[in-house]
Structure 1
Amino acid sequence: MKTPPQLQVLIDDGVIDEVLRPLKSGKEAAVYVVRSGDEIRCAKVYKDMAQRSFQQRVQYQEGRKVRGSREARAIGKASKYGRRQQEAAWKNTEVDALYQLRGAGVRVPEPFGYFHGVLVMELVTDAEGFSAARLGEVELDAAQARRFHAVLVQQVKLMLCCGLIHGDLSPYNVLVGPDGPVVIDFPQVVSAGGNNAARAMLLRDVNNLTAWLGRSAPELFDTWYGEEMWELFQAGDLQPDSALTGEFTPDLRAVDLDGVREAINDAREEALIRQQGREAAEEDY
């Protein structure tokens, strides 16, 4: 295969030795299987802003930290410099999250470094050494579904203890390794304490997993792990070793503030997309 230019730079610098094959291509990045010495790894090449979907980006980025006040002001004004800084921060987010989560014991691929916009990390494989399948591609019996659900709820809890929420967790960004599920794809990771939509995203992550695994183990539909975790987190009582029961009594009197905030964020995002579209058209002209 023809080596992508971003990966040729890594070969020239001695970071990797060979590109073996494409692994997958998504809306945010393309992933390749590469060789580094005797190790087989994967390289994630992030797509440029113009090639990516802008859906919900503003909502995900709320609460993220930037390097300095100048960058923060530029991002807030959506200037060209600000968008470049925002783009750099977007590409660095997954790298930072992987190192932090791996250090906290979360089941994520081991990162090996970020070079020229490319993330080099562990290639998750199955028991035979082939690239691991996604959870949404495998059939599980009831016992396996219950076990995987327990493992994944534990990973979501550990992430939340780090102040992070995956934000886009589904059966298609969980890989099935020989010793259980591994969570992948973190460029949209959310700050649990700094994002107004954090609770809604946490509940969506847990509900996505429960909806899929509940097909094999229907009793999972009666669990409320996301709500239970969030209540403990808000109270400052959530710890990595906190025992969860899956039981929760909702407050039916609560106002749907999340719906209001989501509508506001959608409007902000749409305005940003339109502005970027106008400026792109002007540049092409």
Structure 2
Amino acid sequence: MKTPKRIEPLIEDGLVDEVLRPLMSGKEAAVYVVRCGKELRCAKVYKEANKRSFRQAAEYQEGRKVRNSRDARAMAKGSKFGRKETEDAWQNAEVAALFRLASAGVRVPKPFDFLEGVLLMEMICDEYGDAAPRLNDVTLEPDQAREYHAFLIQQIVLMLCTGLVHGDLSEFNVLLTPTGPVIIDLPQAVDAAGNNHAFIMLERDVGNMASYFGRFAPELKQTRYAREMWSYFEAGTLSPTTVLTGVFADPDEIADVGSVLREIEAARMDEDRRQAGRAADDAPLGKTEEPPPPWMQ
């Protein structure tokens, strides 16, 4: 096929030998299958900001480090230079996240290089060597759903332990391989400690997983892993070996339960008193004793 203009620099630099076919086009990038020597890899070509359908970038970029104060001011003003810096930061975020997560043991595609807005990375394949399907494209047995859900919850914990939240995790950006799920699409990954929206995004990511796998194992829809893992994260005790249950009660809910129990106990005691009063009123009257004789009075 004709080489996309954005991939030409990679061919000129010897990083890519041939573009074979388009693989997919998403809301922030188009992905191509390319040949690099004897290996097949993916070239992810990021779309320009005005051509992306992914919105609300500002809330995702909160907490990300900027190289210097000049760049920060330019990005805040939205100047031409600032827009370019913002775009570069958005694209570089995925590269940094992939290296960071891969080193932590999270199952993500291995990144190889990044040049001129093109990310060269591992191609995730099925058992036949073709592109692996997305979770959205498969039907699962209940036990499979439970197994994959548990695995992805563990992956989310590993991500959080590195200080990152995916931010857009769903069945559309998880690929299924013979050895299990692989998480993709991370340009919007957020800093868990530095972004005020981090927990909301984590809760949405975890909720999306529960909703999808809950189609096959309905009990998963009732789990509350996001709040549970976040409570450990805030306390500084979350680790890759933390055992989660999926059950979590907010402190306010615990307080409310205590209040309800006290009200129930008070109502029970009131009812006991009323019952005792009614029992006394309904008791049969005994015989009236005759007054004692005068000499005993």
- The TM-score with structure 1 as length reference comes to 0.87
Distance across 2 between alignment mates of 1:75 and 1:6:
24
- The aligned runs of 1:95-110 (5 Å cut-off) are 95-110=95-110
Distance across 2 between alignment mates of 1:94 and 1:50:
19
What's the counterpart of residue 116 of structure 1? 116
Contact 2:104 2:158 in 1 (8 A): yes
Distance across 2 between alignment mates of 1:9 and 1:198:
36
Letter in 2 for 1:124: I
Distance across 2 between alignment mates of 1:22 and 1:182:
20
- Does 69-78 or 172-181 show the bigger shift? 69-78
What's the counterpart of residue 201 of structure 1? 201
Contact 2:228 2:247 in 1 (8 A): yes
Q: C-alpha displacement at 1:128, in angstroms?
A: 1.3
Distance across 1 between alignment mates of 2:125 and 2:53:
29
Measured at CA, do residues 133 and 54 of structure 1 come closer, stay the same or move farther in structure 2, by a change above 3 Å? closer
Aligned residues: 254
What's the counterpart of residue 25 of structure 1? 25
Distance across 1 between alignment mates of 2:23 and 2:54:
23
**Percent identity at matched positions?**
58
- Does 244-253 or 21-30 show the bigger shift? 244-253
Q: C-alpha displacement at 1:54, in angstroms?
A: 5.3
Deviations 1:98-149 (A, max 9, x none): 0000000000001111122110001001111110000011000001000000
What's the counterpart of residue 80 of structure 1? 80
Letter in 1 for 2:92: N
Distance across 2 between alignment mates of 1:45 and 1:54:
15
Distance across 2 between alignment mates of 1:35 and 1:124:
14
Distance across 2 between alignment mates of 1:61 and 1:213:
29
What's the counterpart of residue 158 of structure 1? 158
Letter in 2 for 1:80: K
1:58 pairs with 2:79: no
1:49 pairs with 2:49: yes
What's the counterpart of residue 167 of structure 1? 167
Q: C-alpha displacement at 1:175, in angstroms?
A: 0.2
* SS of match in other structure, 1:145: helix
- Does 51-60 or 234-243 show the bigger shift? 51-60
State the structure with bigger RCO (CA 8 A, min sep 6), 1 or 2.
1
Distance across 2 between alignment mates of 1:139 and 1:105:
27
What's the counterpart of residue 218 of structure 1? 218
Distance across 1 between alignment mates of 2:53 and 2:19:
26
What's the counterpart of residue 266 of structure 2? none
Letter in 2 for 1:78: G
Distance across 1 between alignment mates of 2:237 and 2:79:
41
What's the counterpart of residue 287 of structure 2? none
Aligned-residue CA RMSD (Å): 1.3
Contact 2:110 2:121 in 1 (8 A): yes
What's the counterpart of residue 191 of structure 1? 191
Letter in 2 for 1:82: G
* SS of match in other structure, 2:92: helix
Measured at CA, do residues 222 and 54 of structure 1 come closer, stay the same or move farther in structure 2, by a change above 3 Å? closer
* SS of match in other structure, 2:251: coil
- The TM-score with structure 2 as length reference comes to 0.83
Contact 2:63 2:191 in 1 (8 A): yes
Runs of 4+ displaced beyond 3 Å:
251-254
What's the counterpart of residue 94 of structure 2? 94
Contact 2:107 2:181 in 1 (8 A): yes
Distance across 2 between alignment mates of 1:54 and 1:172:
14
Contact 2:27 2:54 in 1 (8 A): no
What's the counterpart of residue 261 of structure 2? none
Letter in 2 for 1:199: F
Distance across 2 between alignment mates of 1:175 and 1:54:
20
Letter in 2 for 1:200: I
What's the counterpart of residue 231 of structure 1? 231
